[in-house]
Copies of this chain bind each other. A is one copy, B any other.
Amino acid sequence: MTDTVVSSATREVVIGFERPFVIIGERINPTGRKLLAAEMRDGDFSRVETDTITQVAAGAPMLDVNAGIPLADEPGLLAKAIQLVQSLTDVPLSIDSSIVEALEAGLAVYQGKPLVNSVTGEEERLERVLPLVAKYGAAVVAISNDESGISEDPDVRFEVARKIVGRAADYGIGREDVVVDPLVMPIGAMGTAGRQVFHLVGRLRNELGVNTTCGASNISFGLPNRAGINAAFLSMAIGAGMTSAITNPLEPEVRQAVLAADVLAGRDPHCATWIRTYRVPTETARRPSRRRG
């Protein structure tokens, strides 16, 4: 049993084998969102505020924050976004950048213990990101690719994950603070993408004892009715043992698939969250009050 504890100044969230699945809200990310990118570059963070509030209201227990805008001051923008989001909500954050200076700027302002997203198995990344994770006492997402790219063989990806966990230990980062991303490929392009992930998640859990996460929406890239594929993928990934995912909590089908899979995997004792979320309101509760009318 491995518990990854992340926190804000006032709230802890635990990612773990026997815990409810953790949805990390994916919306605060200008990649592929031209309007958001343009606004953030101009210092207008109003959409970041909205994305924070709506995702937390939809039940996301964590949020990912990314400020990857070409030719912009990404470290400055990411630090500003993190401070803003933390002023609006107490859910813990994932600090998301491919630029090490931006990760450091985000870590420097973050209140609590964040998830650093991410490190890969590439030597240069390991040597730059892991010391930062250790310095700030954070947890880290480990993506299972290295200098040779993304292997189509999930057992090769497993070995990359094992290497990262070993290197993290050298820096004093325990395996409970390494959350492995097995890498989700589009099923429309690679028919084995689903089975690869389910197989790899099982090995990561049983042999390496680590928690897992992924960019779940990748699975449905290019297909119609993406929410339908995403929902089934998350249910099946939870069945295979996955413990968190970076995805869109605003899709009702995704949220429902996650909550139902928690029930079926025995992670929602007495179905309490399911019943609270989906019970039909009583007639009294639904009917507008006549007395006030």
- Give A residues with C-beta under 8 Å from B: 187-188, 191-192, 194-195, 198, 219, 223-225, 228-229, 231-233, 235-236, 238-240, 256-257, 259-261, 263-266, 269-271, 274-275, 278-280
Contact = CB atoms under 8 A, between A and B. Distances in A.
A197 B73 CA distance: 52
Contact of A194 (B195, B265, B278): B265
Contacts of A271: 187-188, 191, 223
Contacts of A260: 228-229, 231-233
B195 A265 contact: yes
Contact of A275 (B224, B240, B265): B224
A191 to B, nearest CB: 5
Nearest to A193: B264
A99 B70 CA distance: 71
A191 B257 contact: no
Top 3 A-B pairs ranked by shortest CB distance? A194-B264, A232-B260, A225-B278
A266 B231 CA distance: 16
Contacts of A236: 235-236, 238-239, 261, 264-265
A242 to B, nearest CB: 11
A20 to B, nearest CB: 13
B263 A229 contact: yes
